[in-house]
């Protein structure tokens, strides 16, 4: 019972860190696709006196990735309902050219303003509408959520790391007699702390398997039947096989740091 308790006291904080790492990975992947959606969904409106090609926009600012001409006929039919055909033609002739311009990445308001300034340098361009305010509020909310979650994950990781080191100290105390005797007889550090490494590495594997199992369950059981749209849409992003490698690597790194920090800070032979 004590043996199991000792291991769980190590595995749980390690799992907390691994869950944090996996949350980070999942969040990064899903927000990447969300960010992609925002980026793809966003366009600014450019009004020009003469027709312009995409290359012309790109010369003005490298972040411009697409440009789509808005059919002037559609605009005229919208604004000139009930007007005679000849008048429509006159309106069409007088009407400037409208472009829906897409960007290569998700931009902050200042970035959008810079693009606007760059585009307006061209004398052909009469007006650039960035729709900055709605874009900015969505971006700020998005950034805030991202920052908060990352902060929480870092905080959780630090607290868990302290718990792990504390547990390592308990282990060290439990193995103190053997480690001291081995030291007296000249065992090098690695040999006398070998048992700590063995136990910690075994627990790192267990924590990785348990964390992976949690996310596999979430991916294949819970998310599929959750009825939550964003979960169902991003089911593939919830856990990937490569995540297991990342989790195991993280777990091993954490336990090796923890064991070293405990072993190297311990005093020599005690009487």
Partner 1 sequence: MSNVINASHLTLAYGNGTKEIIKDANFSIKKGEFVFITGPSGSGKSTLLKALYGQIRPSEGNLVVGGLDLASARQSKLQELRTHMGIMFQDYKLVNEWTVAKNVVLPLMIAGYSVDVQNTQAHRLLKHVKLAEHADKFPFELSGGEQQRVGVARALAKNPVVILADEPTGNLDDYSSNVIWDLMENACQQLETTVLVVTHKIPTIFSLPYRHLIIESKGVYEVH
Q: Which residues of the chain form contacts with partner 1 (CB under 8 A)?
A: 177-178, 180-182, 184-188, 191, 268-269, 271
* CB nearer partner 1, residue 229 or residue 271: 271
Q: Minimum distance between the CB of residue 183 and partner 1, rounded to whole angstroms?
A: 8
Q: State whether the Cα torsion 240-241-242-244 is positive or negative.
A: positive
* CB nearer partner 1, residue 33 or residue 180: 180
* CB nearer partner 1, residue 136 or residue 180: 180
* CB nearer partner 1, residue 11 or residue 182: 182
* CB nearer partner 1, residue 191 or residue 224: 191
Between the alpha carbon of residue 178 and those of residues 46, 55, 76, 259, 263, the distances in Å are: 77, 74, 89, 16, 14
Q: Minimum distance between the CB of residue 258 and partner 1, rounded to whole angstroms?
A: 23
Q: State whether the Cα torsion 236-238-241-246 is positive or negative.
A: positive
Q: Minimum distance between the CB of residue 270 and partner 1, rounded to whole angstroms?
A: 10
Query: What does residue 123 show for φ and ψ, rounded to 5 degrees?
Result: -65, -25
Which residues, other chains included, contact 44 with Cβ-Cβ below 8 Å and sequence gap of 6+?
100, 101, 103, 112, 115, 116, 128, 129, 130, 131
CB 206 within 8 A of CB 242: no
Q: Minimum distance between the CB of residue 4 and partner 1, rounded to whole angstroms?
A: 17
Q: Minimum distance between the CB of residue 105 and partner 1, rounded to whole angstroms?
A: 54
CB 98 within 8 A of CB 69: yes
């Amino acid at each position: 019972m004590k043996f199991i308790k000792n291991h769980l006291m190590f595995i749980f904080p390690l799992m907390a860190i691994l869950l944090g790492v996996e949350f980070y990975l999942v969040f990064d992947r899903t927000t990447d696709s969300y960010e992609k959606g925002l980026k793809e969904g966003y366009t600014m409106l450019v009004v020009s006196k003469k027709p312009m090609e995409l290359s012309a926009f790109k010369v003005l600012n490298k972040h411009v990735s697409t440009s789509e001409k808005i059919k002037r006929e559609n605009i005229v039919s919208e604004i000139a309902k009930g007007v005679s055909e000849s008048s429509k033609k006159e309106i069409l002739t007088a009407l400037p050219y409208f472009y829906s311009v897409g960007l290569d990445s998700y931009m902050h308001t200042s970035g959008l303003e810079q693009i606007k300034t760059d585009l307006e340098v061209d004398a052909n361009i009469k007006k650039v509408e960035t729709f900055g305010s709605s874009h900015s509020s969505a971006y700020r909310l998005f950034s805030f959520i991202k920052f908060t979650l990352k902060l929480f994950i870092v905080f959780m990781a630090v607290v868990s790391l302290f718990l792990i080191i504390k547990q390592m100290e308990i282990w060290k105390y439990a193995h103190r007699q053997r480690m001291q005797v081995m030291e007296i007889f000249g065992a090098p550090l690695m040999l006398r702390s070998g048992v700590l490494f063995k136990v910690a590495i075994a627990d790192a594997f267990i924590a990785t398997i348990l964390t992976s199992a949690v996310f596999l369950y979430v991916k294949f059981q819970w998310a599929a039947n959750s009825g939550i749209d964003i979960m169902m849409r991003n089911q593939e992003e919830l856990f990937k096989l490569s995540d297991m490698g990342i989790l195991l690597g993280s777990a091993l790194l954490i336990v090796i740091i923890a064991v070293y920090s405990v072993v190297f800070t311990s005093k020599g032979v005690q009487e």
